[in-house]
């Protein structure tokens, strides 16, 4: 549970012990917003979204930094919503914009330690979180109409992108904000 710091620290410590070290980490914390206008947004849900998406990401970053080799990479999963907010998702939009800002701030602090920090801003891909949107025909078509490429992303595309961003080939991308969204951010 990304919202519980002790769980995060234990999970990172266990992974490092099992793998024998840590060269790079993909920080992929995320829960969706409430899908309602700001005036009707639940403060409790907003707080939960921030707790998981922002504080959970920070907790993983902090735990990973204790073990990360130099040179090393932290890749923070944000969202296209950080760059182009979606109406009705104030909680999610704000949380993912905070993740982009976190990546840039960490890059400023850590670049001199040979740690590359990058934010990835994916658009719509078939995941458990997006499944309800894909299953509802009207919602699916409305989302597709906002993607200039005219299609959703494929999991293989995000896997290849993450693989590159975690590789030595991306080490000069300090503070980079990478979109993978079929042009949705435009």
CB 8 within 8 A of CB 27: no
E strand intervals along 78-141 = 115-122
Q: Which of 46, 58, 92, 152 is catalytic?
A: 92
Q: How far apart are CA 73 and CA 91, in angstroms?
A: 28
Please report where in the chains the tokens 């458990």 appear, as a residue. Answer: 128
92 belongs to the catalytic site = yes
Gyration radius of the chain's alpha carbons: 17
Q: Just list the catalytic residues.
A: 92
């Amino acid at each position: 549970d990304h919202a519980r710091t002790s769980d995060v620290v234990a999970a990172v410590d266990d992974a490092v012990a099992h793998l024998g070290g840590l060269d790079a980490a993909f920080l992929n914390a995320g829960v969706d917003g409430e899908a309602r206008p700001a005036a009707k947004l639940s403060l409790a849900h907003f707080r939960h979204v921030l707790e998981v998406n922002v504080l959970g990401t920070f907790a993983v970053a902090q735990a990973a930094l204790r073990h990360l080799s130099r040179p090393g990479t932290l890749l923070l999963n944000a969202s296209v919503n950080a760059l182009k907010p979606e109406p009705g998702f104030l909680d999610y939009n704000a949380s993912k914009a905070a993740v982009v800002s976190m990546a840039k701030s960490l890059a400023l602090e850590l670049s001199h330690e040979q740690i590359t920090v990058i934010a990835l801003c994916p658009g719509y891909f078939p995941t458990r979180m997006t499944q309800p949107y894909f299953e509802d025909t009207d919602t699916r078509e409305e989302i597709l109409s906002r993607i200039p490429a005219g299609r959703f992303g494929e999991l293989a595309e995000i896997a290849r992108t993450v693989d590159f961003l975690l590789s030595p080939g991306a080490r000069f991308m300090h503070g980079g904000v990478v979109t993978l969204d079929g042009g949705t951010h435009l």
